[in-house]
Structure 1
């Protein structure tokens, strides 16, 4: 089981994601505190995800499921964010936090099996689903009667990534688990199993531009 979120170390978590969950992980940027203000190590003043994005363009090649390689990477930079590439061991469905909690309650009432779920400091919820299923989401959303660009539901598959707990994003707080990885949710649902509840919940929300790549609930 993934360790408790408060007080845990980035290295410990990254190793457990790779070793126990068999997820590929890679180190991202990190936060530098200057005069009490958090700045991204990329040194871009307008950085949209300070401390929580890839630090190099070949990030996909950096991603590894080797615990030894993970220890080496975080040994070099212990403050590096933990990023997980989608499209490999899982895809991800990214929705507004309020819609996510509404959908989560509905799915639990319906007895739908869920995988891990995270909540990010910019108030998004990310649902882990089977790899390769994100590509079918636009067509499945249309089949449910929604125009994909009319609801704030973003599917992340190959070529994308998400930030994993306990990664912190600027001064906003940390990515947190809503549903932690456990033995019981090792088998992930197909994206289409969650879409009816997610699309309905997102349809009740005003449409906003979803993130091109998820940055990451309120500060922990």
Structure 2
């Protein structure tokens, strides 16, 4: 299967152009932010407030050397705090106008989180094959997030099965390729700001697209990630000078 899609000449520019053309227009200002958050909650994504970047590109939390600046919930109780209640989300958004928001995975939805280049290639292949793809968000730190149905919830213990790709906040570095955010994990939900100039998390396919079964995406995503990691390894072993 890989041989059909091995050529990359001009691919990244083509996909980037396609994504820019498909990106949903995100309204500016607090009103647009609040509307997008309410849309996410209306689609069933449970939300909770998260940290945000400060003017010096650091994290708004008071932790010295925060390992995930602007990417983590404000409360340690985020799993029980996460909600789709529109009134609560409106209060949070208005009382904490700079806050990002996370969505807790594994209750209604999961997220398949892949390196940006591999994700763009996989997205083109999925759409070209006529496979239903749900909402997709792009994170400017180099990841593409595929939102899917969850494999199971705490109420459906018999329907939940573990996977070696399962990713939790404390194990993210262990999954440089595909990360499967399910029960006990979270991701930033658009619109979110990241440290750095004009860095953000934004939708490239909006919430009007139904959540698909994750297994329908998994083969193409894992194939793209395997070749992406293989190419990264080839570059690392090619004798190029290493950065210091």
Give TM-score, length-normalised by structure 1: 0.78
Match of 2:36 among 1, 8, 13: 13
Structure showing greater Rg: 2
Unaligned stretches of 5+ residues in structure 2: 1-23, 153-159, 166-173, 233-244
Higher RCO, 1 or 2 (CA under 8 Å, sep at least 6)?
Answer: 1
More helix by proportion, 1 or 2?
Answer: 2
Match of 1:165 in 2: 190
| Cα distance, 1:110 vs structure 2 | 0.9
What is the CA distance between 1:6 and its match in structure 2? 4.8
Q: In the TM superposition, what are the counterparts of 1:62-77 in structure 2 within 5 Å? A: 62-77=81-96
Q: How many residues of Structure 1 are paired with residues of Structure 2 in the alignment?
A: 190
Q: In the alignment, is the contact (CA less than 8 A) between 2:110 and 2:181 conserved in 1?
A: yes
SS in 1 for 2:228: coil
Whether 1:32 aligns to 2:54 is: yes
8 Å contact kept, 2:139–2:202 = yes
CA gap 1:110/1:137 in 2 versus in 1, 3 angstroms: farther
CA distance in 2, matches of 1:58, 1:150: 24
CA distance in 1, matches of 2:191, 2:212: 24
The alpha-carbon deviation at position 135 of structure 1 amounts to: 4.5
Cα RMSD for the two superposed structures: 2.4
Is the Cα–Cα contact under 8 Å of residues 92 and 126 in structure 1 kept in the other structure? yes
Are positions 1:180 and 2:206 aligned together? yes
Q: Structure 2 length normalisation: TM-score?
A: 0.71
Contact 1:5 1:165 in 2 (8 A): no
Distance 2:194 2:57 in 1: 9
Q: Which residue of 1 aligns with 2:216?
A: 193
CA shift, 1:44, in A, is 2.9
